[in-house]
Structure 1
């Protein structure tokens, strides 16, 4: 048994029970209580796990946690990408796509600026910058994938999650308030009707019908994609030369298992789009896996490290969001985009398609709910590529 902990590191079933139970509790609280949804289920999952480890209930290291990193995180990626058909995205939501890409560029610029300003004070900032780029273009699945890929220390991941979620809560409030500002009303326009279609909103949030076959097919497809991508990565890294800077970059992109997984998932969704569009439950399973991930990354974190590191990470995250929203507003105005399109695109990059859809529903922009969901899923596709590119750039700048 680990000295000083109630539960041993090899007490596998008990540790799994605690992890899954707390991930479930976090989801239940987030969906049933306003205070929990405000701080987010991710924070509840992470802080609760931190408390369990810091108060010596569970160990800070265990093969169980390694299993989550090695298997649960990779499986979550294809599950959350099965709804991302880039052909459908282009056909149905071109205007939102353009402003979404502009906001994504703002995220990347903000990450570079924040890195230049703060790199001497925040350790592992190149890795954190890559993770936040992926997260603020895609979502939590990209954050998880990049943190696993880059082997970022768990305590830094936890501190970043705390800073991210704390700032994001304020950012959502800002996005809600912006349309009512006089300066926005004067300089931006809208022709989207604000309807009171309560039934449409209720229908949007209704539970989906999921059959046993949906679950079986979702898990099977995800495992096949992960197995094929990781095996091909091993082969490519063994075959491709790795003896200079250029080839290092080539291998890091084309031989990276997470980028291969993203690419293959994207391809199969395009080829068999009708099949994956009918497949229910994959997104829900993938989201639950991500909550398990947030529990696990909170376990090794020290309260002392969080308190000492998070304030500077707050500043780093704020810089990223300033450039994201600022570039969106400036270019959006120049290109004659509507304020709703600009705000939803920025929201979709920073908070993911679900929170963007929630903003659209909350503001009664019901005719934009579907398009922003489609566009938001594109971030899951490009987030890992953008994060990897930014990581290489930040290493060059450091």
Structure 2
């Protein structure tokens, strides 16, 4: 039983915001700039959950995923320019294709190294679908391949979360390595301890204080909620709730490019959206139950760990061969493994504004292809 119970909404919310505040403070310190605020708060939330301070699951976590994350997407995209998106789209799509192939290869290698028993092919296909798409693809693939044993299903879900957190922590460590930065240079990333002029010209520095004007901030939040409300209504009318994030993204981009005068009445929207996504990172960290590693999920956790490690090695290696940018590789990889919201969150947290929209779009593509790839891999391994 955790110190703060799942039904203690205010106490749990206070704990999560304290973790986020620490992450924001940390990224202004020399050591924190090397690691990045999201990595710090992700690790802190994971430690707090596994040491019994906060729960791994709670209704407030669902509220964050269901409300703050969709709200953050329009806030992060309201100044996205189609011309910038198109200039980045080709490279990002190439990087995403590498990430998808790296995930499949990682699964094949993991299946050869880790013995998951008779259900191995089904588990592998389901996890690959999840790591290329998202939770909807996990459910759809599990049903399609007949992964019906409840104990294995729950173990796979647990391993999915632990593997995703491991991946995210390793991914965010890449820019901290001088060797990786030399191997895979980036116009977006300088020395974490001393940002270069080139990096400053591309990214929006987190240390620059925006102009905070309460009516303008309220306008941005209101517009975000309107976009989310319309997207929810449209997805309900179409009878496809899975289209919600796609519609939020599409409407946000349309507003950003066809209703640009609105931007004059909005301020600090990117910072507010980034704050929402930081809370989302804390929720991801809290959801990693390391206790499952010692239980029935151990083989599946090992499988997921090998898969994401191979994935990272391949994207960095092939990224070098294709002369890809490290920042673009990171966002494409994140869009593949964790989906569009996490890709947007990482790009926003690093100040890589030009990569937010392309990362969202390739992540949505992952939703479209993941189930097919997962089912195909199950047949291949079976």
* Cross-structure match for 2:218: 216
Conserved? CA contact 1:82–1:276, under 8 Å: yes
Aligned residue pairs total: 332
* Cross-structure match for 2:43: 47
SS of the residue aligned with 1:42? Answer: helix
Alpha carbons of 1:197 and 1:345: their partners in 2 closer, same or farther (altered >3 Å)? Answer: closer
TM-score, normalising length: structure 2: 0.70
Q: Distance in 2 between matches of 1:302 and 1:99?
A: 36
Tell me if 1:177 matches 2:179.
no
* Cross-structure match for 1:394: 374
The CA deviation at 1:344 is 5.0
Q: Residues 1-398 of structure 1 correspond to what in structure 2 (within 5 A)?
A: 4-34=1-31, 36-90=32-86, 94=87, 97-118=89-110, 121=116, 129=128, 132-133=131-132, 146-147=134-135, 153=157, 156-170=160-174, 173=177, 174-178=179-183, 204=205, 205-237=207-239, 256-273=243-260, 275-276=262-263, 279-305=266-292, 308=298, 312-332=303-323, 342-350=325-333, 373-375=353-355, 377-398=357-378
Structure 1: segments with no counterpart, 5+ residues: 135-145, 181-194, 238-250, 333-340, 360-368
The CA deviation at 1:269 is 1.9
Q: Distance in 2 between matches of 1:11 and 1:105?
A: 43
SS of the residue aligned with 1:208? Answer: coil
Moved more, 211-220 or 51-60: 51-60
Moved more, 75-84 or 321-330: 321-330
Q: Distance in 1 between matches of 2:98 and 2:283?
A: 31
Coordinate RMSD, CA, aligned:
4.0
| Deviations 1:188-232, CA, capped at 9 Å, x for gaps | xxxxxxx87899799955222232233112211111111111222
The CA deviation at 1:383 is 1.7
Structure 2: segments with no counterpart, 5+ residues: 140-155, 186-195, 335-342
Q: Distance in 1 between matches of 2:204 and 2:38?
A: 26
The CA deviation at 1:325 is 4.0
